[in-house]
Chain A
């Protein structure tokens, strides 16, 4: 494996990120739930990257869910006491949405943000804000798509999950419209990335989500034609950098890893050929991985290790400019399908197309058990403590106790609607958006 873990020398000094180190990161670590892997040699790196992640959330609290798969893009909430035994009474509220979508909700404090698209051409873009507590709509803004809106029927133009730095909301749509609003619905800036780069689109639909790193928004626009990722100034919407990417459609969302030398966050850009790991503020490549990667399922970084869907699953400790990433293990029997892998406690979980949930030991990648769930799944599991929430495409929520000897589905709830998007967690509640509605499970 080492022969495919390559390092690109990078002698140019890297500009430091202008970020605040929030105590929220320490809170997250201190409040790590039961089953969360305790610090180990890689724990320092974890702490460092958490600092980097926290920098994106300087204005947010530990209970917020700011991006696709929430804190650090792990899909794991640091909260406890979420609903496990689901039944009809678990639905705290349900509100209809004005259009379709599969983007995840983003939660900042008591505000929950959702995107949707409507009209026969899906060219009406909606950004909605609700009270997380009551479900009351606080505001809505609409925009017209400036890019192409064609998408496979299974997806839609509201596919990419927004992200937030705690004071701004960044919404990307499949049309490559990129909208920045404050949390009260005031428009700060707008971009039309297909307008700027006319061949940047995917006739199946785009779905990779942006992430915010300090004062840079990283936007993946990877497709078969004018393929790129960009770092955008959160204050103005102008490009800080724009990097050509493989001409290949990709729906995987970037994740952050720490630079092995400095601990500063680096952005993992994933595509079919592998990974390009870049400085968020400059776009300069620090290291790369060329043994292939999924174009659907996103990598996850947890416990100091990056887990990459690559010919199964490849686990590696991140590198840096001049530092090789270190292979931890590779298991070709851990291929996820659409859903991304998730690490909970000392186990890595993948979901295949048949709905088989596979648990593997994160230390060596060996398979521990497999659990047949009711699929098919597109949503990535999210979890807390020892439990995972799986939601299949027909709206069946399944709660899995991962501490059971072979894993066990402990409860189910049928929401009876098409659900492709990944749930979000905040305020001891699970927020699930279907193609028609937004549902809150639990919380108070």
Chain B
């Protein structure tokens, strides 16, 4: 690039920035905010300055959310709220074209893009409607959800008109793009009523094939902090002294729509016990991913031998994607070990000793192993009967 071009580019970039000189410093003050209140005084002062900006500063504030931590993003988005309220109250306009341009760049923070979309839809509902279909495969979960909803609405209309072929087509299309659990549940149910096959575990990316071992002691909840042999060595042929009998690894394949892995099935309805589940994930390439866990028992998860997180809460509820654990997949073999502790409570609603785990990206799109086995087929009706176990 020629020097003149560089100068012009720099000038254009400077012109795009809000007028007040401290804008960059204010953004920096907000982006440095950290844990336990660190940086709050500076961020609060910067917020006051930024919130006084005009409409032209909105897209710069949105762009400042790129790679910002979640606290900083909240400072920035609430500053946008303040500016927008003031501008609209004064009957001034928002920079709609700039916002559309911002949305079109999917490298920006998905939540910032969603906010930009809502601003457009607020001042120009027609433009919002027009943009929606472009978000079907969007990294923003919320934008994608609204786009998919248009397909679901169209499918429902087709159903009401008794046009099963059109409904099947629209529902199938919706399922392809749907990442929202409630939408997926609705669409899968409709497709099954239309006698279409739906592989929900694959759609979600649930891991269905595991090695399980149990049971070790968890009387008085001692198991959570006790490192039993499966935490110390990976030996799937080993036999250990368990709480009640010899503990050995067994194969379990779940046919549950929501990938629920039930320890009670191989080991009996036990209380005060600890079990482990192990599986491998053969990744096509190295990439960032999330392990998403649902579990109402005490649990710990190790990925490639490293402890990711653990939680000693029992029977307060479980749901899909209850816990999101960021990981870096390496190409080829990755190992996942899950520890699941059952307490000694004997109430009916404390029987479950189970978990569900899937691998996906930040938008919830499944990442499938290269050698993913076929989803097990459960007994007739089992999927329907057990589906609700894995849902919210």
Contact = CB atoms under 8 A, between A and B. Distances in A.
Contacts of A201: 313
A201 B81 CA distance: 28
A148 B47 contact: no
Interface in A183-231: 185-192, 195-196, 198-199, 201-204, 223-225
Contacts of A224: 312-314, 316
Contacts of B75: 187, 190
A68 B343 CA distance: 34
A195 B322 CA distance: 15
Interface stretch (B33-41, B95-103, B231-239): B33-41
A225 B311 contact: yes
Interface stretch (B66-74, B152-160, B372-380): B66-74
B30 to A, nearest CB: 10
A236 B44 CA distance: 9
A236 B43 CA distance: 10
Interface in A138-153: 139-144, 146, 148, 150, 152
B35 A223 contact: no
Contacts of A189: 37, 40-41, 43-44
B313 A236 contact: no
Interface residues of A, number: 41
Contacts of B35: 195-196
Contacts of A109: none
A198 B323 CA distance: 11
Contacts of A236: 37, 40-41
A190 B71 contact: yes
Interface string A237-251: 111000000010100
Contacts of B47: 186-187
Given A187-B47, A187-B75, A142 B81 contact: yes
A186 B82 contact: yes
B79 interface: yes
Interface string B12-34: 00000000000000000000010
B371 to A, nearest CB: 32
A202 B313 CA distance: 8
B204 to A, nearest CB: 16
B142 interface: yes
Contacts of A249: 316
B119 to A, nearest CB: 12
Interface in B306-334: 309, 311-314, 316-319, 322-323
A190 B318 CA distance: 28
Nearest to B45: A188
B389 interface: no
Given A144-B77, A225-B311, A203 B317 contact: yes
A120 interface: yes
A385 B317 CA distance: 42
A2 interface: no
A142 B74 CA distance: 8
Given A140-B81, A238-B37, A247-B312, 7 more contacts: A146-B74, A185-B81, A185-B85, A187-B51, A196-B35, A204-B316, A236-B41
10 contacts: A139-B82, A144-B73, A148-B323, A185-B82, A191-B37, A195-B70, A198-B309, A199-B311, A203-B296, A224-B314
Interface of A: 119-120, 139-144, 146, 148, 150, 152, 177, 185-192, 195-196, 198-199, 201-204, 223-225, 232-233, 235-239, 247, 249
Interface of B: 33, 35-38, 40-41, 43-44, 47-48, 51, 70-71, 73-75, 77-79, 81-82, 85, 111, 142, 145, 180, 182, 296, 309, 311-314, 316-319, 322-323
